Structure 1
Amino acid sequence: MASINMSYLNPRTVILIGIPGLQHMQFWIGFPFFAVCLVALLGNIILLIIIPMERSLHQPMYIFLAVLAATDIGLCAAIAPKMLAIFWFRSYSMAFDTCLAQLFFIHALQCMESGILLAMALDRYIAICDPLRHTSILTPSVLGRMVVIVAIRATVLVGLLPILIKRLHRFHSTVIAHSYCEHMAVVKLAAEDIRVNNTCGLFVGFTILGFDMIFILISYTLIFQAVLRLHQKEARLKAFNTCTAHIFVFLEFYILAFFSFFSHRFGHVVPSTHILLSTIYLLVPPALNPIVYGVKNKVICKHVAQVLLLNHGSQQ
């Protein structure tokens, strides 16, 4: 018995079981997730190729979109390989430090995505409410500083989570009922007082997701007020049209984010449902973002068509 207890003291490995209750279906569940990851990688790589190449896209909105695309690629790379290895090859074991590294990158990239969505809302606010000063306010140096601040904020705040987990030494289990290393899923394994970890997780969540969501809502309240004051119907429709893609991405990200965040702490959701929805929340937005922005933007659609035609012509 002592040897069993000692095995959970400073564990070197953890076991990720995937989706509890659906282990017999995981092999087949992996295929739609793989397809979503392929769409996400392809769509975001195309954006990262087109936006730097086309000078007409060197504007704040598209620069933020390129950063969002890079963030989405990183998120897929952090989650998909191990998750698919669990589903398809039953590769359940993972080094504890690797688990903490995955935890850090997943949550840091989530927080970066939230910060970029806030920056895009600010861009839309200035473009609609103060269009004459748009380019003078959002200069390349200002854009660079905004991206750096978003990255530093995510790195510093999320960096606290694995550091606090490392101070825990006794664990009642090393089996994580999840398909990836999520903060609370790891913390709940501890056989020690986890109030500090739980409080820090809530603090990081509200400081980043809560702060960003509040200011995005304020931005769009001011935007809608400004748009409704426009006299011409065509002008109002054009202004609304420039925001629809961002509003869709904003809603999909935050609704799923807060569901995952609160259900893990306070909810009584069936574990398999929670994990499926949490994984969908992380992988579906990266696949939808380039599609939503691409369909809504004629310039991007045009360049995607040109790239596809060039590839088709070279094959012939």
Structure 2
Amino acid sequence: MAVQLLNNTFTFNLQIAKFDVPPEAIYPVFFTGALIYLFAVLCNVTILALIVTQRSLHKPMFYILFSLPLTDLLGITCALPRVLVDIITQTNFVYYPTCVMQGFLLHLYGGSVLFILAAMSFDRYIAICKPLRYNSIMTPFTLCCIMSLVWGLDIALVLVLFALQARMPKCKTFIVNVYCNNSALVLLSCGGDTTVNNIYGLAMTGFMQAISVAIQLFSYIQILITCISHAQSEARIKAVNTCLAQIITFCLFEIVSTFTILSYRFQNIPPNAQKLCGMMIFTILPVVNPIIYGMKTKEIRNAFFVMLKKQKVAFI
């Protein structure tokens, strides 16, 4: 039996939705998913290692960027391995506390991406629009304040969301998606009033989006104005190259999120397609982000090639 109240006994085993995979496709799907996961882990760990080990990347921009691959590793690790295990074992049960933890971390991932991109855009605004004051503004203390605000605000907002969900008594048995999230956990409740949960969930999502979009719009508009008014073409090229990766990542996140939300609004979309769209939020960015930053950020490219040369010399 799943989470329910029977004779005042609370049990913790939940049934969770799974992909309908034909028997002949189980192993191909599993190995494809495993390769995607391993590729994402390898790429993001490489970015983290470069930022830690290469002195050329010991700058405020990359200290902020450090949080992005960490967040990507959090998102894909919380979502993908458990789904792959369910596919290969043909089981669809999850322990309730594990489900709550997965949901909490996945919501944390979504908010942190928005806030980190906002922090990165602010850093680029200072670097390009106020270059002479950059070092005096982006001090270690300022960096600590920015990153504390990014993670502290994200954690606080998600904690309140899950506290509202936890107060509701549970008596239903089925998680409606292939991963746990707040809305699926709310649906386990015994038919109580979920108005407060719904209002707060929408308000939190709107607040995160509004803060991130406002900061990025302000930063990139100011950067654009600086580029247009600047006489040197090199300054324009530098501005575009340092901002383009963040802009691509933000647009990709918004497109995937919107596509996922719309997929659940149309009843004629197959269930497997809806579940796959839900998984895209936690798999596409962790795979694509390291490639984007590797291609569009000259300092990371150079640091990568320097590391390769050192490894080659070490093996000779």
Q: Conserved in 2, the CA contact under 8 Å of 1:86 and 1:179?
A: no
* 1:186 Cα deviation from its structure 2 partner: 2.5
Q: Conserved in 1, the CA contact under 8 Å of 2:249 and 2:289?
A: yes
Q: Which AA in structure 1 matches 2:177?
A: H
User: Alpha-carbon deviations, 1:278-305, whole Å to 9, x = none?
Assistant: 2112111112111111122333223323
Cα distance between partner residues in 2 of 1:252 and 1:7: 49
Taking a change above 3 Å as real, the CA distance of residues 163 and 198 of structure 1, as seen in their structure-2 partners, is: same
SS, match of residue 103 in structure 1? helix
Taking a change above 3 Å as real, the CA distance of residues 161 and 261 of structure 1, as seen in their structure-2 partners, is: farther
Cα distance between partner residues in 2 of 1:5 and 1:84: 30
SS, match of residue 15 in structure 2? strand
Cα distance between partner residues in 2 of 1:59 and 1:304: 16
Question: Are 1:118 and 2:118 an aligned pair?
Answer: yes
* 1:145 Cα deviation from its structure 2 partner: 1.4
Taking a change above 3 Å as real, the CA distance of residues 8 and 80 of structure 1, as seen in their structure-2 partners, is: farther
Q: Which residue of 2 aligns with 1:181?
A: 180
Question: Are 1:300 and 2:300 an aligned pair?
Answer: yes
User: Alpha-carbon deviations, 1:91-117, whole Å to 9, x = none?
Assistant: 321111211111111111221121111
Question: Are 1:219 and 2:234 an aligned pair?
Answer: no
Q: Conserved in 2, the CA contact under 8 Å of 1:79 and 1:180?
A: yes
Q: Which residue of 1 aligns with 2:90?
A: 90
Q: Which runs of 5+ in 2 are unaligned?
A: none
Q: Which residue of 2 aligns with 1:167?
A: 167
* 1:228 Cα deviation from its structure 2 partner: 1.6
Q: Conserved in 2, the CA contact under 8 Å of 1:17 and 1:86?
A: no
Q: Which AA in structure 1 matches 2:70?
A: A
Cα distance between partner residues in 2 of 1:73 and 1:314: 29
Q: Conserved in 2, the CA contact under 8 Å of 1:161 and 1:201?
A: yes
Q: Conserved in 2, the CA contact under 8 Å of 1:36 and 1:284?
A: no
Q: Which AA in structure 2 matches 1:238?
A: K
User: Alpha-carbon deviations, 1:4-57, whole Å to 9, x = none?
Assistant: 9849985512112223x5566565333333222212211111111111222221
Taking a change above 3 Å as real, the CA distance of residues 155 and 245 of structure 1, as seen in their structure-2 partners, is: same
User: Alpha-carbon deviations, 1:221-246, whole Å to 9, x = none?
Assistant: 22212212223333323321221111
Cα distance between partner residues in 2 of 1:7 and 1:224: 65
Cα distance between partner residues in 2 of 1:60 and 1:196: 40
Aligned Cα root-mean-square deviation (Å): 2.6
State the number of aligned residues. 310
- Provide the TM-score with structure 1 as the length reference: 0.88
Q: Conserved in 1, the CA contact under 8 Å of 2:168 and 2:189?
A: yes
Cα distance between partner residues in 1 of 2:75 and 2:40: 10
Cα distance between partner residues in 2 of 1:11 and 1:141: 47
Q: Conserved in 2, the CA contact under 8 Å of 1:99 and 1:181?
A: yes
Taking a change above 3 Å as real, the CA distance of residues 160 and 28 of structure 1, as seen in their structure-2 partners, is: farther
Question: Are 1:136 and 2:136 an aligned pair?
Answer: yes
- Provide the TM-score with structure 2 as the length reference: 0.88
* 1:202 Cα deviation from its structure 2 partner: 1.0
Cα distance between partner residues in 1 of 2:117 and 2:130: 19
Cα distance between partner residues in 2 of 1:309 and 1:81: 34
Taking a change above 3 Å as real, the CA distance of residues 261 and 312 of structure 1, as seen in their structure-2 partners, is: same
Where does 1:31-180 land on structure 2 (aligned, <5 Å)? 31-171=31-171, 173-180=172-179
User: Alpha-carbon deviations, 1:120-175, whole Å to 9, x = none?
Assistant: 0101111111111111111111111111111111111101222222222244x422
Cα distance between partner residues in 2 of 1:59 and 1:260: 36
Taking a change above 3 Å as real, the CA distance of residues 277 and 151 of structure 1, as seen in their structure-2 partners, is: same
Q: Conserved in 1, the CA contact under 8 Å of 2:56 and 2:303?
A: no
Taking a change above 3 Å as real, the CA distance of residues 194 and 229 of structure 1, as seen in their structure-2 partners, is: same
Q: Which residue of 2 aligns with 1:28?
A: 28
Taking a change above 3 Å as real, the CA distance of residues 98 and 23 of structure 1, as seen in their structure-2 partners, is: farther
Q: Conserved in 2, the CA contact under 8 Å of 1:213 and 1:254?
A: no
SS, match of residue 14 in structure 1? strand
SS, match of residue 15 in structure 1? strand
Cα distance between partner residues in 1 of 2:258 and 2:223: 24
Q: Which AA in structure 2 matches 1:191?
A: C
Cα distance between partner residues in 2 of 1:11 and 1:167: 16
User: Alpha-carbon deviations, 1:69-111, whole Å to 9, x = none?
Assistant: 1121222222222121112122321111211111111111221
